[in-house]
Structure 1
Amino acid sequence: MDMPDNVLEDSLLHKAWRVMVDNLEEWSNLMRQNADTLVLEVMEKLAALVTEKRASRKVYYEEHHRITNEVPRLQEAVAKAKANYEQALDQYKNAKTKYEDHYLKGKPGRKLEELKERYQKSCRKLHQLHNDYVLLLCEASDYERDYRTVLLPGLLEYQQTVQEDMVTKWSNILKEVCELTDSSRGRYCQLQQQVAAAVDTISPAAEYHSFIDTNRSMPPDSITFEFCRELLGDGVGSLQAGQLAVDSLTVEALKQRLASLEHRLRVVSTEHREKQDLLNQHEAEVANIKKNASQDFNLTSRLSVLKRASDVLRRELNELQCQESWLQHQQQLIQEPLTTLGCEEAPQPWEANNQINGDAKLTRCNSKSLLSLKSVNKGQQSGHIRLDSLSLRSRSSALKDILKKPFHRTRGPGHNGSESPASTPPTPTRAGTEEPPGGDVAHTSAPDRPDTASPAAGGGGGVTTTTSAAKTNGVAQLTYDPERQLEDEPWFHGVLPREEVVRLLREEGDYLVRESTRNDERQVVLSVSWGSHKHFIVQTTTEGLYRFEGPAFPTIQELILYQNSCALPVTNKSGAILRAPIFREHWELNNDDVQLVEKIGRGNFGDVYKARLAGSGLDVAVKTCRVTLPDEQKKKFLQEGRILKQYDHPNIVKFIGICVQKQPIMIVMELVPGGSLLSYVRGNKGKLTDKQKTSMCRDTAAGMAYLESKNCIHRDLAARNCLVGERNIVKISDFGMSREEEEYIVSDGMKQIPIKWTAPEALNFGKYTSLCDVWSYGVLCWEIFSCGEVPYQGYTNTKAREMIDSGYRMTAASNTPKTMHQLMLDCWQYEPEARPHFDAILTKVDNVYNSL
């Protein structure tokens, strides 16, 4: 670094140099003989020193620029994170508003599901950005503090040490010059003594004694990094200002973030330890060299190298110590709430109770933004709610009831409700209900449930070894059979999706056990209804025992029976007590009882197999759900089974059961040997008579008339989705797009809609009724009589849609009865009200069949 002239006037180095320069004239003749030596050796060292001093200045500026520019970079990053936060918040609020507005209209359906999914996605994004914002603020605050207190002072101290080291080098060079010009002759000796005395007065410590005081500058003002509380306003769900959100949307990301922080902390700690060891070695070697420096001149040059390396190590150790402090702070910020979460599953962000936040405290969410997702109002009757007269709490309960439809099950006699028994499956069996004669489990109402069982005799927690359900005064009691596997327990529901669990657990104290997979790791989860739905992961000890917070047991069955009998909370924090297990329903089959034989097709969710039921040997068709699909898709997959199991008609594929004990989830249906109707008519082209084709149309109309009477909209009626059974009986299949509503409206575009089979009002406005199925039925009849040709042959979907809107209708295939073609045209009326209903269609087709 360059120094001002007034500073050089007080410099001992400058004074020594002046003494030497003033005497150079008298020395010139005496030093001529040593000139070549001075030029070749001493001046080369002096030039190297000048170069080193310039490099030192450059290093100082570069390091100062690097650590100084980090502050504005962090400020810019915080501003950007805040902007992203605001954008995500706006998206979240918009999604929430649309979702709640649609909710309040009381029309559930696919649009509501899409709005809900969009709402959850925006919520997940907001929570992730929230955590990024909090962690960035933490990082910026730590760096800004260390910048003022550690990094800048450390850099200046390092620069002083470097300059002192260069002064030492310069002193050594001058001493070498003295030795080369030394002489014992008269005046030269006198002059030499004067120069040597001046050089000896040089002291590196004294030269830069006031270096820091002279060159220091006032540190910049402290910058405060705080969470902008205006972002959350009155509250956004469970988010808390300056606290991490720990819920099902963020827990995995936080765990990954924690693992990354721990890895980085280990790397920094290892590097810090290695550099500290190296510094200790250098200092020991320096001390040894100082003892022996007079004996070996080469050790002196080694000493300079070691000192410079030691100075660099000290500066790097300062920075590593700061990094270690930052990482430890962030690790603690994430570790505390995850430790507080313990064995419980992370709560859903819309669950108001027991929300875990980044300050490791339990908070209760009072935000109005998630009212639609709170506990259900048990006093609702028939699903009709007057939202304008409800309190906030009642309104949220009503909205959640709407969410669950049409998935609610009737609770049996004794509960209010007007759902038809024909269209609603029975309630799951409870261990605390009576069994009717014959061993069939009765579907009783909630008042039939016994009070919570008292702890077992002999200190509580004892487990009886006998059959699965003994009776005490006519009431079923849970017992333990050591020969029975966990999968055979009636209260174990396998890999049942979480949304299905919420649907089943409806009363306080209801519980079931299920299997969950997270990060490719199998977990057994206890789900309990207690205020809200709580989920507890069964913990495994190092000895292989199972426990929650109480005693450990060798099997999960014994653990569950202990919790059921002792009437103690599963965890002290939750207070949840087990009262009534929810048993599997009779149509929930064991996966091991379904033996897959061969693959016969492929669906939207997975493959379709021919299979055989163990025991009965019955051949069945099985639809499988891919293991990798998210829970939302698995829920849609099970929806087809829930719809299909309610129907019993010869022209609808018969439902046999659902397998959710393990992956993959499966829907079991009757095996229809003839394959799809489309393949059948194509394969028998020229062989089928008009009467046989009309019979197929009649079978389809009978099945659709039955579905229409049940308010079921198929939405994908086509020859490819019908099957041909024995004696050419047609059965309607593939209810993956079906809805149990009189009218259904979607707004998610035409991505999966079969354009050429879909009615105009559904394509243009997303409005579906059973009259849309009538349009599709007309296309299906055309497919049958054309022996499987493609509708609107040669036209793209867009062109076919334009032609339909302009009035074009397909001509009949050859040999199509005129009455059947007229029926097709009636089904293709542009206005839905002008189309016949399926009961009228069935009558017309039956008359045509009888006339042939």
Structure 2
Amino acid sequence: MGFANDLQGFQSHDALLNVQDAEIELLEHIRRCVQIKVKADREYSLAMTSMFAQAGRLESSTEELRGSLIKQAWDTVVETTETIGRVVRQNADFLATNTLESITNLILEKKALRKVYTEEHHRIHDELTRLREDVFRIKAEYERCVEAANESRVKYEEALSKNESAAAKPRKLDDLKDRFFKNSRRLHQVHNEYVLMLNEAMQYEKHLRTILLPDLLECQESALREALETWQGVMREVVERIDFCAEGFQATHGKLSYALSIIDPDKEYKAFLDEHRSNPPQWMDFAIPSPLQNTQLGKYEGTLRPDRIAVDDLTIHDVRNSELAKRRAVDHVKRDRDEMKCLYDRLSYQLALLVGALSEVDPNNAPRALNIAEAPSPSAMTVNPNIALQDEEWFHGVLPREEVVRLLVNEGDYLVRETTRNEERQIVLSVKWNGHKHFIIQQTPEHKFRFEGSAFDTIQELIVYQHHSELPVTIKSGAILYNPIFRERWELNNDDVQLIEKIGRGNFGDVYRAILHPKRMNVAVKTCRVNLPEEQKKKFLSEGRILKQYDHPNIVRLVGICVQKQPIMIVMELVPGGSLLNYLRRDGQRLPTRTLVSMCLDCAAGMAYLESKGCIHRDLAARNCLVGLNDEVKISDFGMSREEQEYVVSDGMKQIPIKWTAPEALHYGKYTSMCDVWSFGVLIWEIFSLGQAPYAGLSNTKAREKIDQGYRLPAPERIPSPVYQLTLRCWEYTPERRPHFDEIHKLLLNVFKHL
């Protein structure tokens, strides 16, 4: 019996968090009670001292009562009272200085223990979720490759079978053959990726169940048991301070001592385990039929075999490259084997697969992969009418019209969305046909749906009919539905986002801490107010569109967007430390200079990445950076960003952060990456001034004038001289004289290494 074996289920995980919360609450209750006792004992001791002083004032009849037995008895009572008061005071002082401090430390330790456990539990399960998503992503690509290879194969064979036509048009035949070989080569590459990814997912799940999760639970159980022993000692101190050896006190103390003596760490969690014991979650079924065997994609009769690496003239170089990559990965993991043993086992097994496959063939004479034969035509694309509207891949929820225009590119592209007009919910069909056209789906009195022709019971049936019939949606428009545009993979379902608590407020709405189901992932969610104009909603979604293409450890990561219904939401990774500005103001005094330089280095790395992608942030400041684990800084808030090498503002200077903005942007509205470099200099100043406001005491206009006159912010007290010299270079009035972010990163890295 133990945590590692009995608490692997998610219900048990929630119960374990709840019991830790309850223990912390109990400790806080004990602390409050001890504080009340200390106050009461001190007041009691003060009263006893006052009584002793009052008794000592009896002087007028001292001579008369000399030798009196009753006077002697009273003196004994007074002396005993004074002794009791002194002992009570000593006990109260001990509880105040020692016991309360121990209780406070224990509360902090248990909170930290719970936080570490929660983060580790999320981390190892998030990795499994990521691998599972990668498996299905590659599987989907695998299916597309099988379908494409079969289709190109059929076309080639048909052209080849027509000998006369082939002789007349050799160029067309060569094009078909070349397309067939390209599709086949891609199929073989994806096949190998699929086999490796499937193996990696299965290996990781095995390690999670047998090593990672049991080790985490065992560590948590051990830490809880140690905390319980400390807790027992604290309570023993409290009990010892109320033992006055009187019969009544002794009886009470006996009961308390007995109650303490029966505390046994080995039995403390027995009832909890009995109540919350659960079976481990069912194993995920990775016995997925190979796309090669899916007849709906077309019959495949090549040399590929499920779960086998294909080594032939199409893949020999790729397999060799894969082998080399895995060898390097294995060598890297060996340097940190204790921490990364699971990853080492995973990659070693994959290496064995590759080496085994290569050893079975002659690398200079790889077997042919294709044996061209007749194959049936691929099945036609269909739209499923038997699921709910909101679950259809071509239904995009409350996606704004501007986003719809971006998605519909070719003639005949279409999607269905929801809109609100005069507080009435309407379903709209959007089509690219001689421009972008939007048709409101009409509802008849019989609750059926139509455009101009026949009415149908459901919107799905109406759309499927229009798609297959290839009839115009309306006679006037002539728009025909050819190609449904499916939701992008990062479009999430609103119902999967559970808002927990409000943690901030942005330009477009509130920011929440939330849980993303079914992954149970902690995320940050930006919401867009329902009553904002369409133009504002477009700007709100532009941040998500920019973030989705970036992947860097110092850029906040986009999880997805929610546009199925109101409110529209952007879902991002949750960065636990919050705003860099607030963090510096709250905890900056304890941060060493090396950490402050490291923060600047993180920001420079993120901005160098953005500059390489042609992205201008336009609002770089400490308030728009977030602090993660180990004081790692991430760039956030891309609401004003632009993906252009140069951007000119033409709508005035509203919402421009004047004191962070470069002079050329203020004067001419011209933005480049060099403007971000200027803002980065102000950010460095904010970091080393521990969150002070730049140009304090100056209005925006006055600060702008002084900058034009050559004034620059003075060096903060803790900034190293090389870093301040770099800051002054960032504030060069001429943009061309400022350093680029890759140079800034190198200079900061050099300073960091010498600290």
Structure 2 residue 552 is matched with structure 1 residue 847:
no
Aligned to 1:645: 548
Question: Counterpart of 2:606 in 1: which secondary structure?
Answer: helix
Q: CA deviation at 1:749?
A: 2.3
Counterparts of 2:145 and 2:439, CA distance in 1: 31
Counterparts of 2:501 and 2:379, CA distance in 1: 45
Question: Counterpart of 1:741 in 2: which secondary structure?
Answer: coil
Aligned runs of 1:667-678 on 2, under 5 Å? Answer: 667-678=570-581
Counterparts of 1:442 and 1:809, CA distance in 2: 63
- CA pair 442-493 structure 1, distance change in 2 beyond 3 A: farther
Aligned runs of 1:779-798 on 2, under 5 Å? Answer: 779-798=682-701
Indicate which of 366, 382, 390 corresponds to 1:478: 382
**Partner deviation per Cα, 1:799-850 (whole Å, 9 max, x = no partner):** 1111111111111111211111111111111111111111110011001111
Which AA in structure 2 matches 1:486?
L
Aligned to 1:396: none
Aligned to 1:712: 615
Structure 2 residue 336 is matched with structure 1 residue 631:
no
Q: CA deviation at 1:771?
A: 0.7
The answer (yes or no) to whether the contact 2:146–2:297 under 8 Å persists in 1 is no
Aligned to 1:663: 566
Indicate which of 433, 455, 465 corresponds to 1:552: 455
Aligned to 1:692: 595
Aligned runs of 1:257-656 on 2, under 5 Å? Answer: 436-437=141-142, 473-475=377-379, 477-482=381-386, 484-656=387-559
The answer (yes or no) to whether the contact 1:486–1:556 under 8 Å persists in 2 is yes
**Partner deviation per Cα, 1:713-759 (whole Å, 9 max, x = no partner):** 10000000000001111000000111111111113222210011011
Which AA in structure 2 matches 1:534?
K
Q: CA deviation at 1:479?
A: 3.7
Aligned to 1:248: none
Question: Counterpart of 1:788 in 2: which secondary structure?
Answer: coil
The answer (yes or no) to whether the contact 2:526–2:571 under 8 Å persists in 1 is yes
Question: Counterpart of 1:824 in 2: which secondary structure?
Answer: helix
Which AA in structure 2 matches 1:584?
R
- CA pair 721-573 structure 1, distance change in 2 beyond 3 A: same
The answer (yes or no) to whether the contact 2:677–2:741 under 8 Å persists in 1 is yes
Q: Which runs of 5+ in 2 are unaligned?
A: 1-138, 156-294, 299-376
Aligned to 2:585: 682
Counterparts of 1:638 and 1:508, CA distance in 2: 25
Aligned to 1:828: 731
Aligned to 2:228: none
Counterparts of 2:566 and 2:145, CA distance in 1: 28
Counterparts of 2:704 and 2:297, CA distance in 1: 65
Which AA in structure 1 matches 2:141?
P
Aligned to 1:384: none
Counterparts of 1:435 and 1:612, CA distance in 2: 27
The answer (yes or no) to whether the contact 1:470–1:478 under 8 Å persists in 2 is no
The answer (yes or no) to whether the contact 1:714–1:738 under 8 Å persists in 2 is yes
Indicate which of 655, 659, 663 corresponds to 1:760: 663
Q: CA deviation at 1:548?
A: 1.2
- CA pair 828-443 structure 1, distance change in 2 beyond 3 A: farther
Counterparts of 1:476 and 1:754, CA distance in 2: 55
Which AA in structure 2 matches 1:638?
L
Which AA in structure 2 matches 1:632?
E
Q: CA deviation at 1:481?
A: 4.8
Question: Counterpart of 1:784 in 2: which secondary structure?
Answer: helix
The answer (yes or no) to whether the contact 1:436–1:442 under 8 Å persists in 2 is no
Question: Counterpart of 1:740 in 2: which secondary structure?
Answer: coil
- CA pair 617-553 structure 1, distance change in 2 beyond 3 A: same
Aligned to 2:37: none
Counterparts of 2:536 and 2:553, CA distance in 1: 29
Question: Counterpart of 1:522 in 2: which secondary structure?
Answer: strand
Q: CA deviation at 1:436?
A: 3.5
Counterparts of 1:707 and 1:474, CA distance in 2: 43
The answer (yes or no) to whether the contact 2:147–2:297 under 8 Å persists in 1 is no
**Partner deviation per Cα, 1:463-498 (whole Å, 9 max, x = no partner):** xxxxxx97684345224353x210000000111111
- CA pair 581-470 structure 1, distance change in 2 beyond 3 A: farther
**Partner deviation per Cα, 1:663-700 (whole Å, 9 max, x = no partner):** 11111111100001001111113101000000000000
**Partner deviation per Cα, 1:338-362 (whole Å, 9 max, x = no partner):** xxxxxxxxxxxxxxxxxxxxxxxxx
The answer (yes or no) to whether the contact 1:435–1:442 under 8 Å persists in 2 is no
Q: CA deviation at 1:537?
A: 0.8
The answer (yes or no) to whether the contact 2:579–2:624 under 8 Å persists in 1 is yes
Counterparts of 1:489 and 1:570, CA distance in 2: 20
Counterparts of 1:513 and 1:497, CA distance in 2: 12
Counterparts of 1:442 and 1:759, CA distance in 2: 54
Question: Counterpart of 2:539 in 1: which secondary structure?
Answer: helix
**Partner deviation per Cα, 1:549-571 (whole Å, 9 max, x = no partner):** 22211111111111111121111
Q: CA deviation at 1:438?
A: 5.2
- CA pair 441-768 structure 1, distance change in 2 beyond 3 A: farther
- CA pair 479-828 structure 1, distance change in 2 beyond 3 A: closer
Aligned to 1:770: 673
The answer (yes or no) to whether the contact 1:471–1:477 under 8 Å persists in 2 is no
Counterparts of 2:663 and 2:146, CA distance in 1: 48
Question: Counterpart of 1:611 in 2: which secondary structure?
Answer: strand
Which AA in structure 2 matches 1:724?
V
Q: CA deviation at 1:435?
A: 5.9
Aligned to 1:733: 636
Q: CA deviation at 1:638?
A: 0.9
The answer (yes or no) to whether the contact 1:778–1:827 under 8 Å persists in 2 is yes
- Say which structure is richer in helix: 2
Counterparts of 1:721 and 1:646, CA distance in 2: 19
Which AA in structure 1 matches 2:382?
L
Which AA in structure 2 matches 1:722?
C
Which AA in structure 1 matches 2:652?
G
Which AA in structure 2 matches 1:561?
V
Q: CA deviation at 1:613?
A: 0.8
Counterparts of 1:691 and 1:553, CA distance in 2: 68
The answer (yes or no) to whether the contact 2:394–2:486 under 8 Å persists in 1 is yes
- CA pair 476-700 structure 1, distance change in 2 beyond 3 A: farther
Q: CA deviation at 1:596?
A: 1.2
Which AA in structure 1 matches 2:473?
V
Which AA in structure 1 matches 2:471?
L
Q: CA deviation at 1:534?
A: 1.4
Q: CA deviation at 1:530?
A: 1.6
Aligned to 1:402: none
Q: CA deviation at 1:437?
A: 2.1
Q: CA deviation at 1:654?
A: 0.6
Aligned residues: 397
**Partner deviation per Cα, 1:229-261 (whole Å, 9 max, x = no partner):** xxxxxxxxxxxxxxxxxxxxxxxxxxxxxxxxx
Counterparts of 2:697 and 2:407, CA distance in 1: 50
The answer (yes or no) to whether the contact 1:564–1:578 under 8 Å persists in 2 is yes
Which AA in structure 2 matches 1:553?
F
Question: Counterpart of 2:608 in 1: which secondary structure?
Answer: helix
Counterparts of 1:442 and 1:766, CA distance in 2: 51
The answer (yes or no) to whether the contact 1:470–1:476 under 8 Å persists in 2 is no
Q: CA deviation at 1:590?
A: 1.0
Q: CA deviation at 1:505?
A: 1.3
**Partner deviation per Cα, 1:23-63 (whole Å, 9 max, x = no partner):** xxxxxxxxxxxxxxxxxxxxxxxxxxxxxxxxxxxxxxxxx
**Partner deviation per Cα, 1:515-548 (whole Å, 9 max, x = no partner):** 1110000000111112221111111111111111
Counterparts of 1:716 and 1:532, CA distance in 2: 35
